[in-house]
Structure 1
Amino acid sequence: MKFRLFLLFVFVAAPLIAAEQKQVLSNVYPIVKKYKSMEGPSGAQTIYLGDRAAPELLWLTAIKTEVVGANGKTLMSPELMCHMNVDIDPARHKALFNLKRYPAARLMTISQGMRVKGGGFEARLPDGFAFPIASNEPLYVMTQVLNHNIEHPKHLNVRHRVTFEFVRDLDLKERPIALFNIGVSGTVQMANNPMALSSMSSSDHAGASCLIGVRASNAAGMSNDYVDPHGRHLTGHWVVPPGKQVNTSDVTWFMSLPYDSRLHYAAVHLHPFAESLTLHDATTGTDIFKAQAKNPKDRIGLDRVDSFVNVTGVPMYKDHKYELVSIYFNPTKQNADSMASMFLALDDPEFAAPTTAELIARGTIVTAGSALVLRTSAGDLGAMLHYSPTSLQFAKLAAAFRNAEATVTDSTIRFTAKVTAPELEREPGEHVAGAISLCRGTDEVSVVIVTRPSPDLDGRCTVFAQIGPGADVVRAIADAGSGKLLRAEIFGSSELNDMQLAPAKKIAAK
Structure 2
Amino acid sequence: MKFFAFGILLLVLISCIVYSQLTNRHKAIIKTTFLYKTGLVDSEWNVTDTFGKYAMVSPTFLIDGIYKSMEGPKSSNYVQLSKDSTLLWMTGFNVEALDAKTGEKLSNDFICHTNIDFNDVKYYSNFNLNARIGSQYPRLTSLSNGMENFEFPKGFGVPMRGNDLLFVTTESLNHNIKDITKWIKHEVTISYSSQTEKPLMSRTVFIMLPFDKEDPYKDPLDPGSNSCIPVETKNHTYEDGKGNKLSGHWVIPVGKNTYRSSANGQLQIKDSLRLHAAAIHVHPFATAIRLFDKTANKAVFTSNIKNYTTKIGLESVPQFSSEKGIWLYGNHDYELILDVNNTTNENQDMMGSMFLFFYDAELDAKLNH
Please tell me the TM-score bracket, short chain as reference: 0.7 to 0.9
Deviations 1:148-203 (A, max 9, x none): 1011102x1111101111112xxx3xx21100000000121113369xxxxxxxxx
Out of 75, 78, 94, the residue aligned to residue 124 of structure 2 is 94
Q: Does 1:33 align with 2:45?
A: no
Q: Does 1:129 align with 2:156?
A: yes
Q: CA–CA distance in 1 between the matches of 2:292 and 2:211?
A: 23
Q: Give structure 2 stretches of 5+ with no counterpart.
A: 1-49, 216-223
Between 1:233-242 and 1:310-319, the stretch displaced more is 310-319
Q: Which residue does the alignment assign to 1:107?
A: 140
Q: CA–CA distance in 2 between the matches of 1:101 and 1:210?
A: 35
Q: CA–CA distance in 2 between the matches of 1:240 and 1:166?
A: 38
**Structure number, greater radius of gyration:** 1
Out of 268, 281, 287, the residue aligned to residue 269 of structure 1 is 281
Q: CA–CA distance in 2 between the matches of 1:210 and 1:269?
A: 24
Q: Which residue does the alignment assign to 1:469?
A: none
Q: Does 1:160 align with 2:186?
A: yes
Out of 307, 316, 320, the residue aligned to residue 295 of structure 1 is 307
Kindly report which structure 2 residues correspond to 1:359-374, keeping only aligned pairs within 5 A, or say none.
none
Q: Which residue does the alignment assign to 1:279?
A: 291
Bigger RCO of structures 1 and 2 (CA < 8 A, at least 6 apart): 2
8 A Cα contact 2:252 2:342, kept in partner: yes
User: Aligned AA for 2:263?
Assistant: V
Equivalent pairs: percent with the same residue?
Answer: 32
Q: CA–CA distance in 2 between the matches of 1:257 and 1:138?
A: 27
Q: Which residue does the alignment assign to 1:57?
A: 87
Note the C-alpha offset of 1:26: 1.4
Q: Equivalent residue of 1:92, what SS?
A: helix
Count residues with an aligned counterpart.
309
Q: Does 1:176 align with 2:204?
A: no
Q: CA–CA distance in 2 between the matches of 1:142 and 1:31?
A: 17
Q: Equivalent residue of 1:94, what SS?
A: helix
User: Aligned AA for 1:21?
Assistant: K
Q: Which residue does the alignment assign to 1:216?
A: 231
Aligned CA distance change for structure 1 residues 231 and 260 (closer, same or farther; 3 Å): farther
Aligned CA distance change for structure 1 residues 231 and 28 (closer, same or farther; 3 Å): same
Aligned CA distance change for structure 1 residues 311 and 193 (closer, same or farther; 3 Å): farther
Aligned CA distance change for structure 1 residues 231 and 221 (closer, same or farther; 3 Å): closer
Aligned CA distance change for structure 1 residues 19 and 122 (closer, same or farther; 3 Å): farther
8 A Cα contact 1:210 1:247, kept in partner: no
Q: Give structure 1 stretches of 5+ with no counterpart.
A: 1-17, 115-120, 195-208, 356-510
Q: Which residue does the alignment assign to 1:251?
A: 263
Deviations 1:197-236 (A, max 9, x none): xxxxxxxxxxxx951111114xx643x1111244421000
8 A Cα contact 2:99 2:106, kept in partner: yes
Q: CA–CA distance in 2 between the matches of 1:140 and 1:34?
A: 27
Deviations 1:3-27 (A, max 9, x none): xxxxxxxxxxxxxxx9711111111
Q: CA–CA distance in 2 between the matches of 1:322 and 1:210?
A: 19
Q: CA–CA distance in 2 between the matches of 1:77 and 1:247?
A: 30
8 A Cα contact 2:101 2:183, kept in partner: no
Q: Does 1:350 align with 2:365?
A: no
